[in-house]
Amino acid sequence: MGLQPLEFSDCYLDSPWFRERIRAHEAELERTNKFIKELIKDGKNLIAATKSLSAAQRKFAHSLRDFKFEFIGDAETDDERCIDASLREFSNFLKNLEEQREIMALSVTETLIKPLEKFRKEQLGAVKEEKKKFDKETEKNYSLIDKHLNLSAKKKDSHLQEADIQVEQNRQHFYELSLEYVCKLQEIQERKKFEFVEPMLSFFQGMFTFYHQGHELAKDFNHYKMELQINIQNTRNRFEGTRSEVEELMNKIRQNPKDHKRASQFTAEGYLYVQEKRPAPFGSSWVKHYCMYRKAAKKFNIIPFEHRSGGKLGDGEVFFLKECTKRHTDSIDRRFCFDVEAADRPGAALTMQAFSEEERKQWLEALGGKEALLHSFNRAIIPRPEGSAQLDKMGLTILRKCISAVETRGINDQGLYRVVGVSSKVQRLLSMLMDVKTCNEVDLENSIDWEVKTITSALKQYLRSLPEPLMTYELHGDFIVPAKSGSPESRVNAIHFLVHKLPEKNKEMLDILVKHLTNVSNHSKQNLMTVANLGVVFGPTLMRPQEETVAAIMDLKFQNIVVEILIENHEKIFRTLPDATFPEPVSLSTSPPNAPPRQSKRQGQRTKRPVAVYNLCLELEDGDSVNLPKADTTAGNLDSLSSPSPTIAAVPGPLGPDKNHLADGSSFGDWTSSVPCQTRSPMVQWLNTQSPTTPSCSPAVTPPSPKPPPSPLSLPAAIVDKPPERYGEWRMMSKTGAAPRPDQPEQLFVFPT
């Protein structure tokens, strides 16, 4: 289990566990920062001292081997697994290279030192500055609350109202800063995967030039570099799409945080100040506690927690509520107070103070006090508004009309389904198609009034307007599971089985659509819409989650993989029945990533050459040896690397412990069941299949010939499927599918042969 997602809604609750998750993210970034500093120092040693080159490279290799990327969520894509394994591969490469080393000259300043230094200063440095602001604002916010709550209720109303306004403004400012800081933390965690590994790839590429045996080494290592470049570009592309979704969700929660609270088993929870009485003449003190109450069991948990003292959890207390009474200001010199009495301590009331009158009313309602409020702390999933589109004969007619027009007029149009139409025209076309009176009058195949991009946008808008996504909310989690781990065959079998569990109308429409997308991908040399690009476009459309959370957005990349599998295996999935013996109740496990072999087709020529300095050395955790397949895949087929290939069998085992999961069964055992976790399917252990955007490290790809034929540039997957006003210009990209970086010219990575 990697780092837990930081939910924006938790910024307003600011619970102890939320603070623990923030500290876990901060610790990971600090570890990354220290590692990059050490790596830069090692790189400079390589340049400065030729005589100490051997020792410096071995230390450099050791640093790479020990570092491991953390990820947000409970699983990685195949791309991320290969990126994780790439550091170990680089380390092994250096060790083997050192054995055959001859005097060489290295120049790594431009390819390694500067990009890492820039990343560390601009990205990690920016997070440090945000952390300082966040810590400072935390101190200011809770200090002001303490001071405010100590105000006497006997002061003038005008003075109290002014103080209330000031505290509320300060709290809103603190929430704004908290939202921005949480967003920045998660952004840098995702960004570092490609920002860090890409300079390493460039460093290895440049190093081949300076070695006596570099030419032969590059032949053995070439196709792995190409696959890793695809892994990096796919990860970058998914990051761009995910970032826009995260920002949109953050803005929604910022506008109305109460409507986006996550579901919880507790009737009420939050911070309260609890009066702790002391023996005379010491009076009493007010201590801040995080309180949780379940109305059904009348169970009240209170845990002391102070943000300003390092955020350590105190010893919790659990009691069963007997009654709750509101305290008036004539009986206590504090506002927003109420008393609770425990069932096992009759007559010993516990006085508590809320942060505001509104929060006191909410607690009174939840605890069964005299004053109640119409809304409560109960959190529920906010249902999405149902669209006007329906999954009926009219819907199938609309789908067929649009598909027929696209395949007749624009199957070779560049950016098909990626380039969006004008919003007003799209809405007008969709309205006419959904009207029984005008549907048959619309001629999409011959009319010049409707551009192809308008038709494709209308088709996507219709699918998004369905009351429920085409692949249903019920099976959403089940479809995600096989995309997260496993072998290619088991992934396809799992999705094959699930597709046939869909309602008949859903399956029929999905069959028509996926067949069309398969046809579109077959023309990818002209329209540049590979299977990977189509997955990016239709993943969120066909598999939108029921609840909008950061965790759901992090699963977007797995939704894309599911769509890619449907396109690549259309005939098997929709034309054959699944194996009746397939589903078995086994738990989910994760297979180790399979690294690609570096073997060349020209094995027969090896007898006349020096011994190769690079041989694959992937050490598995269990120490098993692996017989690697030979490279037999053509170099020109890089759009999809998910064809079946020999894989390493994984022994099912329990998942690793959740590093950020807090659980204390003795103090508040019920809390553990309320901690959000990823949905796991009880049906079957579905293992990951390889997809165009997530090529596993197992398939082998032959290095390109010295003069490869020119191929069209592919579309940037960073352009997500959004309305036209969200984008000013659609830019063409390189064959790798990556958008040009602002600080670098557009270029293709050319690997020498």
Average pLDDT value for residue range 252-264: 75
Residue bearing the bigger pLDDT, 314 or 489 = 489
Q: How many domains does the chain have?
A: 3
Cα(90)–Cα(204) distance, integer angstroms: 8
Average pLDDT value for residue range 351-368: 87
The answer to whether residue 128 scores a pLDDT higher than 90 is no
* Residue 10: predicted pLDDT: 86
Residue with tokens 């149009």, as numbered in its chain = 413
Of the three residues 313, 332, 367, the one that is the final residue of a domain is: 367
Average pLDDT value for residue range 124-147: 87
First to last CA, the chain: 40
The reply to whether 519 falls in a domain is yes
Cβ distance 532 to 692 under 8 Å? yes
What sign results for the dihedral spanned by CA atoms 635, 638, 644, 647?
positive
The reply to whether 439 falls in a domain is yes
Cβ distance 471 to 506 under 8 Å? yes
The reply to whether 285 falls in a domain is yes
Average pLDDT value for residue range 649-658: 38
Of the three residues 693, 712, 727, the one that is the final residue of a domain is: 693
* Residue 251: predicted pLDDT: 85
Of the three residues 672, 693, 714, the one that is the final residue of a domain is: 693
Split at pLDDT 50, 70, 90, the class of 508 is very high
Cβ distance 74 to 45 under 8 Å? no
What sign results for the dihedral spanned by CA atoms 123, 128, 131, 133?
negative
Contacts of 402 (CB under 8 A, 6+ apart): 433, 444, 455, 456, 458, 459, 462
* Residue 146: predicted pLDDT: 86
In single-letter form, the type of residue at position 639 comes to D
Split at pLDDT 50, 70, 90, the class of 456 is very high
User: Partners of 319 in the beta sheet?
Assistant: 300
194 and 301 within one domain: no
Split at pLDDT 50, 70, 90, the class of 747 is very low
Average pLDDT value for residue range 310-315: 70
428 and 341 within one domain: no
Cis peptide before 676 (omega within 30 of 0): no
The reply to whether 246 falls in a domain is no
Domain of 339, CATH number, reads: 2.30.29.30
Residue bearing the bigger pLDDT, 52 or 288 = 288
Cα(25)–Cα(5) distance, integer angstroms: 9
The reply to whether 724 falls in a domain is no
- Chain-wide mean pLDDT for the chain? 73
Residue with tokens 């309205």, as numbered in its chain = 431
The answer to whether residue 30 scores a pLDDT higher than 70 is yes
432 and 299 within one domain: no
Cβ distance 9 to 188 under 8 Å? no
* Residue 516: predicted pLDDT: 95
The reply to whether 510 falls in a domain is yes
Quick: pLDDT tens for 173-216.
888 988 988 898 888 888 888 888 888 888 877 777 666 666 77
479 and 559 within one domain: yes
* Residue 56: predicted pLDDT: 83
Contacts of 181 (CB under 8 A, 6+ apart): 22, 130, 131, 133, 134
Quick: pLDDT tens for 207-217.
776 666 667 76
The answer to whether residue 404 scores a pLDDT higher than 90 is yes
CA atoms within 13 A on the CB side of 57: 25
Domain of 67, CATH number, reads: 1.20.1270.60
Nearest to 149 by CA among 308, 286, 300: 286
The answer to whether residue 243 scores a pLDDT higher than 90 is no
- pTM, rounded to two decimals: 0.48
* Residue 95: predicted pLDDT: 78
CB atoms within 10 A of CB 383: 9
What sign results for the dihedral spanned by CA atoms 580, 499, 563, 566?
positive
* Residue 571: predicted pLDDT: 93
The reply to whether 413 falls in a domain is yes
The answer to whether residue 248 scores a pLDDT higher than 70 is yes
Quick: pLDDT tens for 145-155.
888 888 888 88
Cβ distance 22 to 184 under 8 Å? no
The answer to whether residue 442 scores a pLDDT higher than 90 is no
The answer to whether residue 533 scores a pLDDT higher than 80 is yes
The answer to whether residue 598 scores a pLDDT higher than 60 is no
SS3 sequence of 214-235: HHHHHHHHHHHHHHHHHHHHHH
Cβ distance 670 to 301 under 8 Å? yes
434 and 360 within one domain: no
Average pLDDT value for residue range 578-605: 47
Residue bearing the bigger pLDDT, 497 or 738 = 497
310: left (phi over 0), alpha (psi -120 to 50) or beta: left
Split at pLDDT 50, 70, 90, the class of 305 is confident
In single-letter form, the type of residue at position 390 comes to Q
The reply to whether 259 falls in a domain is no
Low-confidence winner among 15-29, 217-231, 362-376, 550-564 (lowest mean pLDDT): 362-376
Cα(367)–Cα(297) distance, integer angstroms: 11
Split at pLDDT 50, 70, 90, the class of 170 is confident
SS3 sequence of 507-564: HHHHHHHHHHHHHHHHCHHHHCCCHHHHHHHHHHHHCCCCCCCHHHHHCHHHHHHHHH
Average pLDDT value for residue range 384-388: 44
* Residue 370: predicted pLDDT: 62
560 and 426 within one domain: yes
The answer to whether residue 706 scores a pLDDT higher than 50 is no
Range of the domain at 305: 268-367
Nearest to 595 by CA among 609, 571, 615: 615
The answer to whether residue 430 scores a pLDDT higher than 50 is yes
526 and 410 within one domain: yes
Give the three-state DSSP class for 426: helix
Cα(663)–Cα(645) distance, integer angstroms: 42
CB atoms within 10 A of CB 105: 10
Residue bearing the bigger pLDDT, 109 or 142 = 142
The answer to whether residue 357 scores a pLDDT higher than 80 is yes
Contacts 24+ apart (CB under 8 A), 738-747: 738/232, 738/233, 738/236, 738/237, 739/236, 739/237, 739/240
Average pLDDT value for residue range 521-550: 88
The string of DSSP codes covering 385-411 is: PPPS--SSHHHHHHHHHHHHHHHHH-T
For residue 579, what are its two tokens? 């194996």
468 and 427 within one domain: yes
* Residue 265: predicted pLDDT: 78
61 and 177 within one domain: yes
Average pLDDT value for residue range 68-74: 75
150 and 15 within one domain: yes
The answer to whether residue 19 scores a pLDDT higher than 70 is yes
216 and 314 within one domain: no
Give the three-state DSSP class for 23: helix
102 and 52 within one domain: yes
Contacts of 527 (CB under 8 A, 6+ apart): 411, 412, 413, 414, 415, 416, 520
Residue bearing the bigger pLDDT, 580 or 151 = 151
Split at pLDDT 50, 70, 90, the class of 453 is very high
